[in-house]
Structure 1
């Protein structure tokens, strides 16, 4: 599942993963679903709109979610508190305690963008839980920098989580929801 505040670049990242190039996108009014392959794993990624009217619906997309991609606009420091509030709400949802979270600190190409370490601190990632695996990856949807690496990290976090929970053997696909 791919989620995040509006205008963070969720859809642009999804299309970069799917088609390998940048597309100018319009605000997502509902959701997009695409199948992509990362690290030899098939992923179904749900890209859910991030405006304030759609955010209450995010929790309904989380069932059976193996990983969460939370996209932030790292050039917009003023909205980090709002992003933190939404991320913590999702992270504390029932059944989400151990679901890995990949934070994509997007728009790193913009001068003054926050570093991944600063994004992690501003989002209070340590508050999510000590048992939850998470990773912050600097990205740029325009040129593709960091996106594949971040998704590889999510695959690795999910693999480790599944191994710890003695997940079903030979599982070669999972669902990620981009909020």
Structure 2
């Protein structure tokens, strides 16, 4: 039995879950975290400013302590993302679907992360949030192209991947996010 297996078993026993929230700058990562904190801890919503570095928040859900690691998405910080991969149970990738010019960049960054699967861990669940859907005039057209691009990127063996459209300002599409994260931690 390897050290990582022992650590994973201990985390399951302690019901701890580590979730990275990643994506390009201004994709809505901190707004997603703010909505989760507001919804699950009854904390008032806050004014969001760009995350420089990272912020860690813990939310209790279904007897699990979920650590949400909100990591800045500026291009100068992206080379350091892989420093946070170790012991990650769930990766939430947030994409801003309202800015068409940045969609390919976001898909490429996700592709780069997934090519480094040995660092992220092959058992890490991946959730892709297509955020800011309320700002897109022809959402179906954008989603159709994006789904094709993501289908190529996300073809990984034995890796459960969830994709959903969201509006982090009002929580639309985020209602079951914590359930998905906890299921990912439990390996379900």
CA positional deviation for 1:82: 0.7
* Corresponding residue to 2:53 among 30, 42, 49: 30
* Aligned CA distance change for structure 1 residues 23 and 110 (closer, same or farther; 3 Å): farther
* Aligned CA distance change for structure 1 residues 24 and 128 (closer, same or farther; 3 Å): farther
Q: Helix, strand or coil for the counterpart of 1:123?
A: helix
Aligned equivalent of 2:183: 156
Pick which of 142-151 and 41-50 moved more: 142-151
CA positional deviation for 1:35: 0.5
1:106 and 1:138 in contact (8 A); partners too: yes
* Aligned CA distance change for structure 1 residues 88 and 111 (closer, same or farther; 3 Å): closer
Aligned equivalent of 1:176: none
RMSD of equivalent CA atoms: 2.1
How does 1:12-161 map onto structure 2 within 5 Å?
Answer: 12-20=31-39, 22-93=45-116, 94-95=118-119, 96-112=121-137, 114-115=139-140, 118-124=145-151, 127-160=154-187
Higher Cα radius of gyration: 2
**For residues 116-148 of structure 1, what are the alpha-carbon distances to aligned partners after superposition, in whole Å with 9 as ceiling and x for unaligned?**
554332334554412211001211111111113
**Which has more helix, going by share of residues?**
2
**For residues 36-66 of structure 1, what are the alpha-carbon distances to aligned partners after superposition, in whole Å with 9 as ceiling and x for unaligned?**
1334422001000001000011100011000
Query: Could you say which structure has the greater relative contact order, defined with CA pairs below 8 angstroms and 6 or more residues apart?
Result: 1
Unaligned runs of 5+ in 2: 1-19
2:98 and 2:135 in contact (8 A); partners too: yes
Q: TM-score, normalised by structure 2?
A: 0.76
